[in-house]
Amino acid sequence: MIRVQAEDFDVGAELERLTAGRTDLGAIVTFTGTVRDRADGREITEMTLEHYPGMTEAELERIEAEARERWPLAASLVVHRYGRLEPGDRIVLVITASAHRHAAFEAAEFLMDYLKTSAPFWKREVSGEGARWVEARSSDEAAARRWRDRGKAAK
C-alpha cells in the first residue's frame, strides 16, 4: 500500500492498522525519515517538498511491487508527505512485514534506496542564507545501484 499526503502520519497507528489481526508475521520493520535542522553547515528553518501528482503514486506503486517480487513480504506500506515541513517533522514512513527478519530489513532498505532515486519529489530548503533546491547525492544513486547489480546477479 502506498500513500502520498500533506498531513502528518502516526507511526503507531499505521503499524497497528497494517498488522491488525495478522498472526503470520514474525518480523516488522518500520523506518521513519525526518527533517534535519542542519544541511552542509547551514541551519535549516523550513523545507518544502514538491512532487508530481500521479507519477509519484505510480512510481511508489512500482517500487513497492518490485520489493514484493524480490522478498516474501506479508505486508508493506509507504507513506510520503509533501508541502511545507519544519525540522523534526516526519517526511516518509516505510513499514515492511515478513515471516522472518532478513526479508523485512532488506526490503525496507531497498524501498528507501529506490524511492530516493526514482520517486518524483524535490526538496527546497530555507536557511538564513535563503532558499535552495537540494541537490541529488551520488551516494543515494550508488545505494540504489547496489540492489540493481544484485538483482542481475541473482537472475
Partner 1 sequence: MAVKLLYFAWVREQTGIGEERVEIPPGVETVADLIGWLKTRGPEFDAAFASGEVVRAAVDQTHVGHDQAIAEAREIAFFPPVTGG
State which residue, 100 or 133, has the beta carbon closest to partner 1: 133
Nearest distance, CB of residue 62 and partner 1, angstroms:
9
Burial 48-67 (b: 16+ CB within 10 A, else e): ebebeeeebbebbeebbebb
State which residue, 16 or 37, has the beta carbon closest to partner 1: 37
Nearest distance, CB of residue 143 and partner 1, angstroms:
11
Q: For residue 79, which of 90, 88, 68, 89 has the smallest C-alpha distance?
A: 90
Question: Can you give the binding site for partner 1, defined by CB under 8 A?
Answer: 33, 49-52, 54-55, 58-59, 80, 91-92, 112, 115-124, 133-136, 140
Nearest distance, CB of residue 134 and partner 1, angstroms:
4
The whole-angstrom separation of Cα 55 and Cα 9 is: 21
State which residue, 16 or 61, has the beta carbon closest to partner 1: 61
Q: Say which residue the cell 503514486 belongs to.
A: 57
